[in-house]
Structure 1
Amino acid sequence: MKTKMSRRRFLKRGLGTFITGIVAVCGGGFYAREIEPKLLTVKKHTISHPMIPNGFDGFKILQFSDTHIGFQYDLSQLQELVNKINEQKPDMILFTGDLMDTPNQYADIHSIAPILKNLEAPFGSFAIYGNHDHGGYGSDLYQNVMTEAGFTLLLNEAHQVSLLTNESLYIAGIDDAMLGRPDIQATLESIPNEAYTILLSHAPDLADKAASIGNVQLQLSGHSHGGQIQIPFLGAIIKPPFAKKYFEGFYQIDQAGDPLTLYVNRGLGTTRLPFRFLSPPEITVFTLQTLQK
């Protein structure tokens, strides 16, 4: 037997549903603005490849990206980040772009390098340009900060990393795709064909071009923030140019017979919208592993 719902009960239930929805939206907004952006995660992965020299077996590479200092990310968070990175005891540190959100408008720019200078990595720290590093007339400002902080800034160039055993691998870095002039071909020209090569590209979608050229085994990118806001069943909502195809985590790209592994880091800060939802900030530790040929 069906029970007839009174008008008052119907309105009361409807009001309850409406209030529940408002609370959920407000609570979700608070979480996405105040909580998740500060939930720093450390992702750890093993990278295996037969071209990795034996001496680099167990070598730890740490990637961080997209701090966007000045928008939602502040200097106290940067200091906490440096402490967290040093806790991982990396052999090498790689930064894949977008240090400040608007370089020429950030008043405390002089305070960044002294904090980053405390990073510890015996085989060096390397960086590339992101679009925000060029934006706001920031190219020289960014270069000055990273140089003072002890980073090697790679602009369409490669750097050989060698061990005392005379074994080596290469770190190659290209310019940003949106506001710079990336030249993958020229960047890779000086690298021997048999060398294990890691390509740093702020823009992940350039992986297709890198794979077609060949001689790159691993590409590390940022830019996408992992979509920054992800909605269940819909996926990533915010995909900037050059991060529409590849926006989070691992991808395998095989266009020249030698597969390229791409990893897209979710980054640390936010931009345009001060929210993160189901896309927490991360730093990533890659441990190299030699495979027998």
Structure 2
Amino acid sequence: MIRWIIFIVLIGVADYYAFQSLKTVTKSNWWYVLYWIVTFAVIGHFIYQFFGFNRSAGFSQANALAVGFLIAMIVPKLILITVMFAEDVFRIPQGIYSYFMQDDSTSGNQIRHFPSRRKFISQIGLGLASIPLASILYGMYKGKYNFKVLKYTLHFEDLPKAFDGYRLTQISDVHSGSFDNIKKVEYAIDLINEQKSDVILFTGDMVNNTAQEMRPYVDIFKKLEAKDGLFSVLGNHDYGDYVRWENTEDKKQNLEELKFIQKEIGFDLLLNENRFIEKEGERIALVGVENWGKGGFKKAGDLKKASSKVDKNDFKILLSHDPSHWEQQVINDDYHYHLTLSGHTHGMQFGIEIPGWFKWSPVKWRYKYWAGIYEELGQYINVNRGFGYLAFPGRVGIWPEITVIELKKGEKPA
């Protein structure tokens, strides 16, 4: 109830300022009518989707669109609030002073004048608000399929010589239930294959809610190819925990179906297990844990079990969906995990990033390691920004990612 009160107050304040700025800039009644039609349509659609939300079906594309359009409406209005409120910081005290302190010396009548809003301030506010509006709408229309191939080279002194120059491609967080353009997905799969990596590694969240979401894309993902194979782990969404199942057997069967789909595609699913890739008499270990995340997320991952057949001196690549696992358990483990591959954060699907120079997203306040390569105690983690999208049906500034990592033997160049 409190959340709804806060929501209503926020919407009310935002619309008060937004409509005032519109009235300052134009006197056209048609613009006023259009403003309120759009506002009530977006809010009404969101309320309809919220109260019609079916936990048995999970979060749907219609739910996501309702969230997306609400965000597209609210964020620009929050910009307007900031600009218009800044004007009121000066305007309101001036009005109070004029009302109580000034008078007409010739007539003795008090001047009851409240300064009107300045048109150019409203124009500035509307101009600034148009930037996030355009960005969000672009992110919903095109940004969610704006796939980027990010390439890294990592150096390790103890990398087996036979694997010098070895290339791996990582994808994560497919969230197939969110897709609405099968051609764009086909393009991304072709883009992955164009990298011609030695191995393809998937770090979890193939679906949003149920295994059936992946069915329309199985044949497309079957096209993935790498000479040393495809390997995967589960993410928190893959277990069906966000759906209200009629019974536990249905939930269990859903997970088994998802495992079968991964096998059908060609993924070797690592459930707290490991595999070795051998080359010229040398080997590297692939270690895959089930989901382990802090803050209420499923903790099915068992690092010790997953590494039970791995020698301490082996070169190890760990697949773990949630980067909080790396922070909480992996970094200080007795085994030295040379490279960990994670996803989960999506980079919040929103932020500002200039590759090689600057990156920022609100998700940094939740996750210390949220996008890209990090190094701690001589160990690396790559947090993939995600292949798909969830909840908000788009991406703004943080684009869908295909990671290509080349392993090199020797010291890191100065």
Identify the TM-score tier after normalising by the shorter chain. 0.7 to 0.9
Deviations 1:88-134 (A, max 9, x none): 1111000011111222563xx33322211111100000000001111
Going by fraction, where is helix more abundant, 1 or 2? Answer: 2
Number of the residue aligned with 2:132: 25
Tell me by how many angstroms 1:15 deviates.
3.7
Tell me by how many angstroms 1:228 deviates.
1.8
CA distance in 1, matches of 2:381, 2:224: 25
TM-score, normalised by the number of residues in structure 1: 0.86
Contact 1:112/1:145 (8 A) holds in 2:
no
Number of the residue aligned with 2:371: 248
Alignment of 1:282-293 (within 5 A): 282-291=401-410
Contact 1:161/1:171 (8 A) holds in 2:
yes
Number of the residue aligned with 1:167: 282
CA distance in 2, matches of 1:150, 1:235: 36
Aligned structure 1 segments of 4 or more residues deviating by more than 4 angstroms: 7-10, 231-234
Contact 2:172/2:387 (8 A) holds in 1:
yes
Contact 1:134/1:180 (8 A) holds in 2:
no
Alignment of 1:90-101 (within 5 A): 90-101=197-208
Deviations 1:60-104 (A, max 9, x none): 100011111121464323211110011111110000111112225
Letter in 2 for 1:27: A
Contact 2:211/2:258 (8 A) holds in 1:
no
Gap change, CA 1:53 and 1:96, over 3 Å in 2: same
CA distance in 2, matches of 1:279, 1:123: 30
Contact 1:96/1:129 (8 A) holds in 2:
yes
Of the structure 1 ranges 131-140 and 169-178, higher mean CA displacement relative to structure 2 is found in 131-140
CA distance in 1, matches of 2:288, 2:239: 15
CA distance in 2, matches of 1:151, 1:22: 45
Contact 1:73/1:270 (8 A) holds in 2:
no
Letter in 2 for 1:142: L
Contact 1:231/1:237 (8 A) holds in 2:
no
Contact 1:102/1:132 (8 A) holds in 2:
yes
Confirm or deny that 1:217 pairs with 2:322. no
Alignment of 1:119-268 (within 5 A): 119-135=224-240, 136=243, 137=251, 138-163=254-279, 165-177=280-292, 178-208=297-327, 209-213=329-333, 214-230=335-351, 235-238=360-363, 244-254=367-377, 259-268=378-387
Confirm or deny that 1:269 pairs with 2:392. no
Tell me by how many angstroms 1:141 deviates.
2.5
SS of 1:43's partner is strand
Letter in 1 for 2:312: N
CA distance in 2, matches of 1:20, 1:9: 20
CA distance in 1, matches of 2:223, 2:124: 52
1:80 aligned residue (173, 182, 187): 187
CA distance in 2, matches of 1:182, 1:88: 30
Gap change, CA 1:153 and 1:85, over 3 Å in 2: same
Gap change, CA 1:75 and 1:99, over 3 Å in 2: farther
CA distance in 1, matches of 2:180, 2:369: 24
**Gap runs ≥5 in structure 2:** 1-113, 244-250
Higher relative contact order (CA 8 A, sep 6+): 1
Number of the residue aligned with 1:113: 218
Tell me by how many angstroms 1:179 deviates.
2.9
Tell me by how many angstroms 1:275 deviates.
3.1
Deviations 1:231-277 (A, max 9, x none): 6999422469xx622111121222xxxx2211101012111222322
Gap change, CA 1:43 and 1:269, over 3 Å in 2: same
CA distance in 2, matches of 1:291, 1:161: 20
CA distance in 1, matches of 2:212, 2:224: 25
Structure showing greater radius of gyration is: 2
Tell me by how many angstroms 1:224 deviates.
0.5
Of the structure 1 ranges 58-67 and 133-142, higher mean CA displacement relative to structure 2 is found in 133-142
Gap change, CA 1:59 and 1:8, over 3 Å in 2: same
CA distance in 1, matches of 2:352, 2:338: 32
TM-score, normalised by the number of residues in structure 2: 0.62
* Percentage of matched positions with identical amino acids: 30
Number of the residue aligned with 2:153: 46
Deviations 1:174-230 (A, max 9, x none): 001223510011211211122100000000111131122123111000000123222
CA distance in 1, matches of 2:330, 2:307: 9
CA distance in 2, matches of 1:290, 1:149: 32
Letter in 1 for 2:351: Q
Deviations 1:24-67 (A, max 9, x none): 23212212322322211101111211221111111110001111
Number of the residue aligned with 2:67: none
